[in-house]
Structure 1
Amino acid sequence: MVDPDSSGVAHVSLAGGTYTVLVTGKQTNGAYCLLDMYVPAGGGPPWHRHNFEEMFTVVEGSVDFFFRDTVTSVSAGSTVNIPANAPHRFRNNSDGSVRMLCLCAPAGQDEFFMRCGDLVDSRTAPPPELSEEELGERRQRALDLAPFYASEMLPPGGQ
């Protein structure tokens, strides 16, 4: 049993949002991890792909998913499955925040986020104020670590 607002979970600021690690790969022997994603207006990761399955269920709000040359607005109650190796991204283009659950199978994304992002105090905490140099360091860290976590950051357009 896990509560996303309990003191026993890690909250990671990354890609314009806060990702709470609900279930770690260590807890599932690497089978999967589960993340609670809080994405404020304008937030979302750049184009990327990875060789594991990823499934998002929108809990609150509406978010745009960019996948296979289409943009689909997905609202609360809907689920999106991203197959392995498919270029994709998402962006909160609404005025409010979005909350999603993200299941990654097999696990590893939880560790990647922990190594790339910054720990914050809560699921809805604002991101830390970082200088341009610090932001650049975070981006470079993600690029350097991505291959170790079966991921690849892609240029704009996802090609």
Structure 2
Amino acid sequence: MTDVVHRPAGIGPMTWAMGSLFEHVLTGAESGGALGLALVTQPPGTATPLHRHTHEAEGFYLLDGTMTYRAGEDDFHLGAGDFIWLPSGLPHAFRVTGDRPVRFLGMSAPGGLLRLYDEVGVPAAERRLPGEDGQSMDVEIPRWNEMAPKYGLEVLGPPLPQER
């Protein structure tokens, strides 16, 4: 059995990775491995390569902004209040669309995936998107390539193209 977790707003560990802010709401360790939950803020244009997770399923609940999600062969256009669940092993990719940052609750089950962002990124100095004080993608991408196999992350293809 795990202990009750109460995390007041604005309190908790934060990581800068992918030019984004990941605020840990519930870590896998805190949930006995069952669930990881983060409040994620990402700037416009952020995109992941087509990839899959062999260990976790993922869910995303958008709070603000818009994004396009490819899940398998289907594309979904998400806005505030939308939710998407991705079963383990399903190829997927997303791109933040529009002209403002997106904020969403990102969850993984089981809950170990957020450790990957901590290992690749750096502790956030403040509760904001990273600027010059963040880590460059030249430094970060080799870390993703190194750490991905440990977390069952398999890159399958390029990012989604920019919408016109």
TM bucket normalised to smaller = 0.7 to 0.9
Alignment-mate amino acid for residue 70 of structure 2: F
Query: 2: distance between equivalents of 1:12 and 1:130?
Result: 10
Residue 3 of structure 2 aligns with which residue? none
Structure 2 residue corresponding to 1:26, chosen from 9, 25, 29: 29
Q: Deviation at 1:121? A: 2.5
- Give CA deviations for 1:4-39 in whole Å, capped at 9, x if unaligned: 522xx2221222321111111110111111011101
Contact (CA 8 Å) 1:48, 1:152: kept in 2 or not?
Answer: yes
Please, which runs of 5 or more residues in structure 1 have no aligned partner?
none
What residue in structure 2 maps to residue 154 of structure 1? 156
Could you say what secondary structure the match of 2:115 adopts?
A: helix
The 4+ residue runs of structure 1 with deviation greater than 3 A are: 127-131
> Using the alignment, how far apart are the partners of 1:79 and 1:114 within structure 2?
24
Q: What RMSD, in angstroms, separates the aligned Cα atoms of the two structures?
A: 2.0
Q: CA deviation at 1:85?
A: 0.7
Counterpart of 1:2 in structure 2 is 7
Distance, in Å, in 2 between the alignment partners of 1:68 and 1:17 is: 25
More helix by share: 1
User: Per the alignment, do residues 44 and 22 of structure 1 end up closer, same or farther by CA in structure 2, a change over 3 Å counting?
Assistant: farther
1: CA distance, partners of 2:108 / 2:121: 18
Give the aligned residue type for 1:41: P
- May I ask how many residue pairs the two structures share in their alignment? 154
Q: Distance in 2 between matches of 1:108 and 1:42?
A: 26
Contact 1:16/1:44 (CA < 8 Å) preserved in 2? no
Secondary structure at 2:75's aligned position in 1?
strand
TM-score (norm 1): 0.86
Rounded Cα–Cα distance in structure 2 between residues aligned with 1:155 and 1:27: 33
Judged with a 3 Å threshold, the aligned counterparts in structure 2 of structure 1 residues 127 and 46 are, in CA distance, closer, same or farther, namely farther
Give how far 1:128 is off: 4.0
1:10-159 alignment, distance < 5 Å: 10-51=13-54, 52-129=56-133, 135-156=137-158
